Amino acid sequence: MTFIAGLWHIFSKHDIPGAGVTVGQTPYEVLISKLEYADDAGMFDEDTGTASVRLTAISNGSKEDARMEVSLEKTKGLHVHKREKVSKTTEAEIEALKLKYKCPDCPRTFPTLRGQKIHSARWCDGGKTVRSRKGSLADEAVQLSKRKALEEERSHVTVNDTEIENVQNFIYLGAKQQGDGDEMTDVKYWMEIAQAVFNSLYHLWKDKRLPMSMKIRLYIASVCSTFTHGCEAWTLSDTVLRKVNGFNSRCLHVITGESYKDTAAAPIVNLKLLIRRRRMRYLGHLLRMPPDRLVRRTLFAFVSGGRHYPEGSLFMDCHDEPLETIIQCAANRKVWNERVANLE
């Protein structure tokens, strides 16, 4: 608590009053200056010049007032912008990555052994046919490297003449934030972690001594809970829902032995529904907050006071109801919980 109080004092004394980024439109506009949690802080600014002045003042003030130092090595700059197009991936660019797994019958290389085996079993004809790599893991790796290079070309925040590294994405409080707003970034991040958890329990999924009910409870408690960390902040578009359903289907196929088609169409654990219910419970929590809370005000700015609910937002299951009606419903916990339970 002493550290947090000290950090708050430093910001209140040395930060620029009124600095930050304004989101939303009148009368729902909100000024977001910074987000603080324990010893982490995220600062928002319209340009790198203002950000440099603020961060330098905070860094110097921390040393003077509390003998605390901002770790410039851990501090990163993340530009928020629309997704930019980069050139198509060439085979030469993939070769330059020096990927680990090489096809024994042609020059192609792959980032995973599974990808190389699929290529060898299904497509490889000794290099006679040139197949597109678009959408493959190798293609994504090249595209990522190009986007990282673009970020480095942007202006940098400086602290006492020391440049802060620009990054394309950054993990803050467990969520992977991406500057171009890619809706899949955090979903894929947690999917990979959940997949690792699932793989570590593979011996239990195949153990015939364990009842299926126990395996399902274990799957929900260990894998699903890991995957859905921070799902309240996801944009739950059709693309994301298909990704979620595909992951769930693959896992249930291993656990139950049913076909992929069955586990996708009628899963014994409906992960999409679990996520939607969890998000609805969180929406009710937000709507019951006092009107001056920043997170509630930001939500109202995001939906323009109820005039527009973006696709995949927390309001996706409210069916364009007036915001005031939704708020009144959320105020009654019993009614709201029944509404959550009745989602299908």
pLDDT attached to residue 316: 94
pLDDT attached to residue 1: 67
Domain boundary among 105, 133, 167: 167
Domain boundary among 167, 200, 230: 167
Position 153 in a domain: no
Position 46 in a domain: yes
218-236: b (≥16 Cβ within 10 Å) or e: ebeebbbebbbeebbebbb
133 and 281 assigned to the same domain: no
DSSP state of 232: G
Q: What is the CA radius of gyration of the chain?
A: 24
Number of domains in the chain: 3
Note whether 14 and 57 are within 8 A (CB).
Answer: yes
H/E stretch holding 184: none
- Angle formed at CA 88 by CA 178 and CA 193, multiple of 5 degrees: 35
Position 262 in a domain: yes
Q: Indicate the residue type of 42.
A: G
> Is residue 173 left, alpha or beta, with left meaning phi > 0 and alpha meaning psi from -120 to 50?
left
Q: How far does the chain reach from its first CA to its final CA, in angstroms?
A: 43
58 and 125 assigned to the same domain: no
- pTM exceeds 0.85: yes
In the block, tokens 């987000």 appear at 35
Beta strands (DSSP E) in the chain are 21-23, 30-32, 34-37, 40-43, 76-77, 101-102, 109-110, 158-159, 162-163, 165-166, 169-172, 175-178
8 and 113 assigned to the same domain: no
**pLDDT tens-digit map of 122-181:** 888 888 887 888 888 888 888 888 888 889 899 999 999 899 999 998 888 888 988 888
Position 179 in a domain: no
117 and 224 assigned to the same domain: no
**Residues 221, 250: Cα–Cα separation, whole Å:** 17
- The Cα-based distances of 238 to 20, 38, 187, 244, 333 in angstroms read 33, 35, 13, 10, 29
43 and 134 assigned to the same domain: no
46 and 126 assigned to the same domain: no
Position 85 in a domain: no
**Residues 232, 269: Cα–Cα separation, whole Å:** 19
φ/ψ of residue 77, rounded to 5 = -110, 130
Peptide bond into 104 cis (omega under 30): no
Range(s) of the domain holding residue 53? 2-78+158-167
**Residues 94, 110: Cα–Cα separation, whole Å:** 9
Position 30 in a domain: yes
3-state secondary structure 204-227: HHCCCCCCHHHHHHHHHHHHHHHH
49 and 28 assigned to the same domain: yes
**pLDDT tens-digit map of 46-84:** 999 999 999 999 999 888 888 888 888 889 999 999 888
245 and 316 assigned to the same domain: yes
- The Cα-based distances of 186 to 36, 72, 227, 253, 260 in angstroms read 20, 25, 10, 24, 25
256 and 317 assigned to the same domain: yes
142 and 162 assigned to the same domain: no
Query: Digits of tens for pLDDT over the chain (344 positions)?
Result: 677 787 788 888 888 888 999 999 889 999 999 888 777 888 999 999 999 999 999 999 888 888 888 888 889 999 999 888 889 998 888 888 888 898 998 888 888 888 888 888 888 888 888 788 888 888 888 888 888 888 989 999 999 989 999 999 888 888 898 888 888 999 999 999 999 999 999 999 999 999 999 999 999 999 999 999 999 999 999 999 999 999 999 999 999 999 999 999 999 999 999 999 999 999 999 999 999 999 999 999 999 998 999 999 999 999 889 999 999 999 999 999 999 999 98
Note whether 344 and 280 are within 8 A (CB).
Answer: no
- The Cα-based distances of 86 to 97, 109, 143, 190 in angstroms read 17, 22, 7, 26
281 and 320 assigned to the same domain: yes
Nearest to 57 by CA among 22, 20, 10: 10
Note whether 183 and 235 are within 8 A (CB).
Answer: yes
142 and 248 assigned to the same domain: no
